[in-house]
Structure 1
């Protein structure tokens, strides 16, 4: 066990070097923060106070409106970080350096998840605080019920979406296919299914995960229960990716 743990660090460091040197992955990681914050500023500055005056407004959830776009960047990061292994025989080189496929896959997902979580947490708090800066008397603070939980949970949600995309990329071996599935799903299909399936749609990974951004429960799942459902989806996809890496030819 000690030898296995000691092997994780150098492999994880190598995976970090890969991501850092791969421009598309690094840019998509930074875009999680940059795009979410930019859209937050734009939305808050233009319609923030008008929406806050709406009697049906939910101040906490509305603060994280830009997460609809931040999750796309998180999906792109997870996809590009994993899909780089399936171009120009890179996976064969990686497995030659790390023959233990489980160690290779686990270390890669550890780095992807850790980076997405770090950026996600920074994004969560920055998004909330920035949105409130434009609301004047309507602003709420971190002491508002559920605010800290939403900031932290939102960061975890972005990390889970990045890992979901990375695991699905390992299964399909195509970044284009994964982006073609997940981006329309989160932007369009999930809402259409919600109109058709009613409460069952609340158990889809994106809808369940975003429950953590609400101040009060809006469906059958509470904030942490919804995030747990999203984590279960991600865990299942990661296991499928692990199986694919272990049993398919490089």
Structure 2
């Protein structure tokens, strides 16, 4: 099967999965809804605890989970259903299959990430009412762009893990505790923070003002916002490479 044909086949798979619509829709709805609630709760916050960008993007920590589930089911679902065998029979060049799968997944993730970031931005600022900021304010373009890049990378990272583990259940069993307990929970323990700050999601969210503005007193990371995205990109590349090695070396 040629490259364009492999891409078309992967697109058909993605759009016919029943989980695709609800996971992607949930990403957008959760991102916007949580942003509004966060903004509304910060309307009367004291100046030292107020951050207009935090209001818009804090909810992405939960909204991203729906996007992670989408990526895991898109890649790992074929192993659970057994359709990976006819797929590899039709596309025997595994690298071509893998690239087609990732290309379609990345395009879907990019489209939904753009919608989610837009929904989160406008909903969060609406929740802040008179304390809102504007898209042209200092630091806002960087944070908006970083939020988009972060969501796309988290989807690709999840896809790499799912391909490495060759299944949805195993991948979710690793990723959900990582995001909930590993980096978010252990990341709040001062003695472990020096290590956990380099985990993929903890590094990436630095650009979203989770730890305050980069030049503020609450920012306690050993790297800057784009440095965190770079660390996350490295984790994503490693996960995707591990997935390719698993695909090449192991039978379907």
User: By the TM > 0.5 criterion, same fold?
Assistant: yes
Cα offset, 1:54, TM superposition: 4.5
Task: Please show how residues 1-250 of structure 1 align to structure 2 within 5 Å.
Answer: 7-45=2-40, 47-51=41-45, 53-194=46-187, 195=189, 196-214=191-209, 215-216=213-214, 218=219, 219-250=221-252
Runs of 4+ residues deviating >6 angstroms: none
Write the deviation string for residues 75-105 of structure 1: whole angstroms up to 9, x where unpaired.
Answer: 1111011112102320011111111100001
- TM value normalised by structure 1: 0.91
Q: CA RMSD in A?
A: 1.7
Unaligned 5+ segments in structure 2 are none
SS in 2 for 1:221: coil
Write the deviation string for residues 115-140 of structure 1: whole angstroms up to 9, x where unpaired.
Answer: 11221122112211211112222110
Distance 2:245 2:69 in 1: 22
Whether the 8 Å CA contact 1:210–1:226 is kept in 2: the answer is yes
Aligned residues: 243
SS in 1 for 2:81: coil
Unaligned 5+ segments in structure 1 are none
Cα offset, 1:30, TM superposition: 2.1
Cα offset, 1:193, TM superposition: 2.9
Distance 1:92 1:124 in 2: 37
Distance 2:206 2:3 in 1: 33
Distance 1:69 1:160 in 2: 15
Distance 1:181 1:147 in 2: 33
- TM value normalised by structure 2: 0.90
Write the deviation string for residues 48-95 of structure 1: whole angstroms up to 9, x where unpaired.
Answer: 3133x3522222123211101111112111101111210232001111
